[in-house]
Amino acid sequence: MKINAQGIYYRDLNTTIREAVLAGTDQIELNNVNGQYFIGDGINKPVTITINGVPGNDLAAFMNGATIIVNENGQDNIGNTMNAGKVIVHGHAGDVLGYGMRGGRIHIRKDVGYRVGIHMKSYQENKPVLIAGGKAGDFFGEYMAGGVLILLGMFTDDPAKDKHGYLFGTGMHGGVIYVRGGVDESRLAKEVGVFELDDHDRAELEGYVAEFCRDFKLDVHEVLKERFVKVLPRSKRPYGNMYCPMPR
């Protein structure tokens, strides 16, 4: 099914999408998208939505099983509280990606903004994974409680830009961040440390990166030939000393 989104108000566009999904459509192509909000939000069917244009904020929020492919750039808040499914963005994306994300995959080919992966979490087998192929702004992995963030620093339109910003991992207390080529430790938050990968890490990382490379038709061996490090929290309660004890 093809939908021409040019000039369509975001609520009307999303109503059309939801009606198509309820009718059993499993392939939707949206053309001339120009900033419409909330595309794919809350969809819990295995539908694939291909977006030609730039969707607005909160793409795939609360999504539970759909696949969204963006052939240009994305904006802010992609995958907010997403539970399952996949988002693939062939360009750049904005700030606060994967906020509270609980499962699924977000693959961004190029650069991402600030506060990516904030409050990501996992439970048992439900583990969210967010991969940025380019570079990232400040507060990468902020308050991260679970899941996996991967920063490649490879596919960017600004080679002179630093791979990541300041306060990397602020408040992180769970999950893991893998970074290709190492990190600038002067930009790390005090709550995290840098460690070498073990065999389990390498196996896990190779699987995630291979899937990312399939989505963008990249050479997985080229991506993996560089050394990776992992960033982990030093504590599960980094701000525990800031709270008063409960009276007994």
pLDDT digits 0-9 by tens, 26-78: 999 999 999 999 999 999 999 999 999 999 999 999 999 999 999 999 999 99
pLDDT at 199: 97
Q: What confidence tier does 246 reach under pLDDT thresholds 50, 70, 90?
A: low
Global pTM value = 0.96
Q: Is the pLDDT of residue 100 over 90?
A: yes
- Distance in angstroms (rounded) separating the CA atoms of residues 162 and 229: 17
Q: Which among 186, 181, 184, 185 is positioned nearest to 197, based on CA atoms?
A: 181
The DSSP secondary structure of 155-185, one letter per residue, reads S-S-TTS-SS-SSBTTT--EEEEEEET---G
Residue listed under structure tokens 């890490």 = 201
d(CA 5, CA 113): 26
pLDDT for the residue numbered 24:
96
b/e burial code for range 52-83 (CB count within 10 A of at least 16 → b): ebbbbbbbbbbbbbbbbbbeebbbbbbbbbbb
What are the tens digits of pLDDT across the range 211-245? Answer: 999 999 999 999 999 999 999 999 877 777 666 66
Question: What integer pLDDT is reported at residue 238 of this predicted model?
Answer: 77
Classify 238 as helix, strand or coil. coil
Residue 1: which H helix or E strand, with range?
A: none
| Widest pairwise Cα distance in the chain | 62
Kindly tell me the number of DSSP H helices and DSSP E strands found in the chain. Answer: 3, 11
Q: What per-residue confidence (pLDDT) applies to 243?
A: 64
Q: What's the first-to-final CA gap in the chain, in angstroms? A: 62
- Residue 236 is predicted with a pLDDT of 77
